[in-house]
C-alpha cells in the first residue's frame, strides 16, 4: 500500500528462529518445515496462513510477504516498573492459535507492526511497554506487598492483555529478583556521568541542523502509524462487538455510537493524505510535516490503549462496564482528534 514494506528482505539465519528471533521473513520458493507456521501478508495487509502440508513450499503472488514463526515457548524477563529495575516478571509464553477465530491476533501484529525480522528482544520490549503503560494508567494493579488475590487478578489481566495486544498466550509468570544481573547503583552512576557530560556541551548555544536521517525517519514513523490505523481499526471494531456485550439499552446505544465513530475513523484512515502534501501538487513545510507525524504517532498510541481496553472489557463485571465505556469514549475521542490533526495541513488556531 505505502510501498514501505516492499523493500527486499535480507537473508536471515534460520537457525535463530525460536531462539533470538520469533518470526523471520521468507522468500518465495523457500521450503519451511511443518512445525513452523507460515503467515502470508498480502499487498493490502490482510493475512492468511499457508496450508498445513508436510513441508510447505512458499509461493507468493506479487506484493505479498511471508513470515515463518516459531510458536515457542519463549522465556523473557519483563520489568513491570521502569523505576524498579531490580525486580522483574519471568514470563513464559507461546504463540498459540485460537481455533475458533478466523484471524489470529499474532498474524495481525506481524502484518501491521513488524517489518522484516521480529526479534525476541523487540517483542519483549513491546510487551514490557504495554505492561508498564497499563500499570501506570491503572488498568492493571501490582502494588507493593501484593496479596495472593491481587497477584491472581494481575495475572488474569496480564494474560488477557498480552493475548489481546500481541496474540501471546502466557504459560507461566513469576516475580524474580534481577539484582544479580541488573545493578541499579551502577545505572545511577552512569546516569550521573551522562548528566555531567551533557552539561558543558549544552552551554554554547547549539544550532540544531536537521540531518538527512532525521528528515527521513519521521516519514517512516508516520507511514508505520498510518498503516497500523488502516489495518487495526476494523479489527478493533470487531473486537469491541465481541468483547463488550452491553448490559443495558443505555450501554447498547453507547456501543452503537462508538462503533459508528470507529467506522468513520476507519474510513478516514483509508483516505489519509500523504505526509508531504498540503494539497495535490502543493508541498507541505517540514514543521507542519513533523506536527502531522506527532499526531499519527499519538493515534497509534491510542490504538495500544484501545487493545488494552478490550482486554479489560473481556470478562469485566457489569459494575465496571460503565467506567470502561467512559474510557472507550475517551480513546475514540483522542483518535478522532489525532486523525483530524494528521489530516489538517495547518495547525488549529488555539
Partner 1 sequence: MKSAPMAAACRSLLASGATLNVTATRRPRAGRADVKCTAPDAGLAERMQEVVRLARHTEGRFDSRDQVVIGIDAAPAPHERDWELAVVLADRMVRGVWQGPAQVLANGWSDAWQLGRIDGHAVDGPEGALLGGPGGLAHLGQLSGHPDPAAAVSSARAWFPLHAGGVADSLCWVEVGVHPLEQAAEDEQTIAVPGQDAARQLAVRQALAAARHFDGRNGAGGRWRTAVRFGQPHFQGRSYELALVLADRIARGREFLPRGRLIATGQSAAWHAGQVDSVEGLAPKCALLLRDALPGDRILLPQAWQDALPEGFAQQLRALGASVACVERIGII
Strand, coil or helix: 296: helix
> Is residue 334 close enough to count as binding partner 1 by CB under 8 A?
yes
Q: Please list the helix, strand and coil fractions of the chain in percent, rounded to the nearest 5, in that order.
A: 50, 15, 35
> Is residue 346 close enough to count as binding partner 1 by CB under 8 A?
no
CA distances from 93 to 12, 171, 220 (A): 23, 5, 30
Q: Which residues of 218-235 are buried (b: 16+ CB within 10 A; e: fewer)?
A: beebbbbbbbbbbbbbbb
Quick note: the x/- pattern for partner 1 over 251-290, rule CB under 8 A, is ----------------------------------------
Closer residue to partner 1 (CB): 10 or 138: 138
Cross-strand partners of 39 = 49, 67
> Is residue 191 close enough to count as binding partner 1 by CB under 8 A?
yes
- Pairing verdict, β 118-119 and 277-279: unpaired
Report which of 9, 42, 45 is spatially closest to residue 26, judged by C-alpha positions: 9
Q: How far is the CB of 7 from partner 1 (least distance, A)?
A: 33
Which segment (34-42, 148-156, 213-221, 248-256) binds partner 1 by CB under 8 A? 148-156
Among 34, 63, 179, 285, binds partner 1 (CB under 8 A): 179
Rounded CA separation 64/158 (Å):
33
Rounded CA separation 263/237 (Å):
8
> Is residue 144 close enough to count as binding partner 1 by CB under 8 A?
yes
> Is residue 15 close enough to count as binding partner 1 by CB under 8 A?
no
Other beta carbons within 10 angstroms of residue 1's beta carbon come to 15
Among 60, 86, 92, 234, binds partner 1 (CB under 8 A): 86
Closer residue to partner 1 (CB): 74 or 154: 154
> Is residue 344 close enough to count as binding partner 1 by CB under 8 A?
no
Which segment (63-71, 77-85, 91-99, 107-115) binds partner 1 by CB under 8 A? 77-85
Strand, coil or helix: 68: strand
Q: How far is the CB of 188 from partner 1 (least distance, A)?
A: 5
The residue ranges that bind partner 1 (CB under 8 A) are 80-87, 133, 135-138, 141-148, 150-151, 175, 177, 179-180, 184-186, 188-189, 191-192, 195, 298, 323, 329-330, 333-334, 336-338, 348-350
Amino acid at each position: 500500500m505505502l510501498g514501505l514494506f516492499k523493500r527486499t528482505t535480507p537473508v536471515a539465519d534460520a537457525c535463530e528462529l525460536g531462539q533470538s528471533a520469533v518470526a523471520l521473513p521468507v522468500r518465495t520458493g523457500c521450503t519451511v518445515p511443518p512445525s513452523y507456521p507460515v503467515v502470508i501478508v498480502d499487498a493490502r495487509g490482510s493475512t492468511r496462513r499457508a496450508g498445513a502440508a508436510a513441508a510447505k513450499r512458499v509461493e507468493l503472488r506479487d506484493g505479498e510477504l511471508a513470515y515463518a514463526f516459531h510458536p515457542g515457548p519463549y522465556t523473557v524477563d519483563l520489568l513491570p516498573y521502569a523505576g524498579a529495575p531490580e525486580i522483574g516478571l519471568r514470563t513464559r509464553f507461546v504463540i498459540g492459535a485460537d481455533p475458533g477465530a478466523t484471524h489470529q491476533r499474532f498474524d495481525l501484529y506481524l502484518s501491521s507492526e513488524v517489518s522484516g525480522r521480529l526479534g525476541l528482544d523487540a517483542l519483549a520490549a513491546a510487551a514490557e511497554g504495554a505492561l508498564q503503560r497499563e500499570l501506570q494508567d491503572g488498568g492493571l494493579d501490582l502494588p507493593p506487598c501484593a496479596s495472593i488475590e491481587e497477584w491472581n487478578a494481575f495475572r488474569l489481566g496480564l494474560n488477557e492483555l498480552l493475548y489481546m495486544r500481541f496474540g501471546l498466550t502466557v504459560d507461566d509468570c513469576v516475580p524474580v529478583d534481577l539484582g544479580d544481573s541488573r545493578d541499579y547503583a551502577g545505572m545511577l552512576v552512569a546516569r550521573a556521568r551522562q548528566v555531567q557530560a551533557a552539561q558543558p556541551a549544552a552551554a554554547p548555544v547549539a544550532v540544531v541542523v536537521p540531518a538527512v536521517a532525521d528528515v527521513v525517519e519521521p516519514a517512516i514513523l508516520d507511514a508505520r502509524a498510518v498503516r497500523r490505523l488502516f489495518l487495526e481499526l476494523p479489527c478493533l471494531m470487531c473486537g469491541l462487538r465481541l468483547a463488550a456485550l452491553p448490559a443495558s439499552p443505555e450501554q447498547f446505544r453507547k456501543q452503537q455510537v462508538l462503533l459508528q465513530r470507529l467506522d468513520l475513523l476507519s474510513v478516514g484512515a483509508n483516505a489519509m493524505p500523504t505526509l508531504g502534501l498540503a494539497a495535490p501538487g502543493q508541498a507541505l513545510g517540514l514543521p507542519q510535516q513533523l506536527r502531522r507525524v506527532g499526531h499519527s504517532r499519538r493515534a497509534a498510541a491510542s490504538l495500544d490503549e484501545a487493545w488494552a481496553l478490550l482486554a479489560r472489557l473481556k470478562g469485566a463485571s457489569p459494575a465496571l462496564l460503565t467506567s470502561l465505556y467512559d474510557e472507550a469514549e475517551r480513546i475514540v475521542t483522542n483518535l478522532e482528534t489525532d486523525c483530524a490533526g494528521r489530516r489538517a495541513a495547518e495547525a488549529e488556531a488555539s
